[in-house]
Structure 1
Amino acid sequence: MWHDLMAVQIPIVEKVLRTIAVYALILVLFRLVGKRGLAGMNTFDMVVVLLLSNVVQNAVIGNDDSLLGGVVGAVTLIAVNSAVTRWLARDPKAARLLEGTATTVVEDGRLVPGALRSLALRPSELEHAIRIQHGDGLGEVARARLEPDGQLLVALKPDEQGATRGDVEDLRRRLAEIERLLTAIAADRRPPR
């Protein structure tokens, strides 16, 4: 039993190379699909990810069902992903190449022509992102863009943004000053006794 768990049935170098090749293939596939594929996982996306993991499983493990073979594949996958992530954090050109750039979908309250279609983004998804980020509608949006990581960022027009604590404190200071001035004016207008 222990022998079956620990005996790797294909060479470790082959296992590492298989894992790296499958990782690179999936990275390229997700890059070709684009940002929309990562923007929000719906039921269909989840089914695809689950099936994809099953489809590529044999490509990664080969004819090896040993525990040690699985550990080698998992460690290789985590190590490669960590190395790629660190590389992208240090090299903006590589990040642009592998991740892409942000795509503006709304500019000054108007949809950018063709942007939603090219990203396969539904208007309801955009409206949901606007509501989550404290907007009520498209007209309140200064700019919205889909980031390379699939996150939809919405910047509201200045007049449509909610008040901050600083805004409220500024109002309190101004009101206190107005009250002080009104009290001073009222005191100046009182007839002398």
Structure 2
Amino acid sequence: MSNVLTFEPSRPVVLLPYQAEWADEFTATARRLQALVGAALLRVDHIGSTAVPGLVAKDVIDVQLTVVDLEHVLELTQPLTQAGFRLRADFDYDVFHDLPVHSPELRKCYLREPVGERRLHLHVREAGRFNTRYALLFRDYLRANSAACQEYGLLKRRAAAIFPNSIAGYLYLKEPVFHLLYQAAALWADQVGWQLEEPSTS
């Protein structure tokens, strides 16, 4: 019996050098989302690797939509689904080892771009929750720490080289790094007095 990890093939894992146009694409997307949803959005933020200058990334714009709560999520997401954005059924939950699998601190809704449009991941999360804060802390820590950014980029390239045709395998190698980086980012946040910046579309 083999103990070698295997994962089902998926789309190829393609990493690109940082693209300056990612920031502009986010800005256009944020304005579109704000026009669709309006005052229900507390803030719209560019998150994930495409939000970190100098970091290699898949060509996917990750956007965090912060709302007061998710109890009326269908009302919040209806304007988006009417515009063609695709909502995954029920709630999703992010993964963090120190929290229960279905903790409210990890709950979100997830949408994809309308069919035929550029790849987007929309993460609708509640204000004040762990996952909402972590996405922004992770981004800001990597923006501020070039050494951590470079090492994380190296890990991503190696993971893509090991699992060039499996997103699941690529993410399997990356997941523990998120938890390690959180420890470093939390210390950094305390040291520099990091707080959430004012909402922005840039």
TM-score, L = length of structure 2: 0.23
Structure showing greater relative contact order (alpha-carbon pairs closer than 8 Å, 6 or more residues apart): 2
Greater Cα radius of gyration, structure 1 or 2: 1
Bigger proportion of residues as strand: 2
TM-score, L = length of structure 1: 0.23
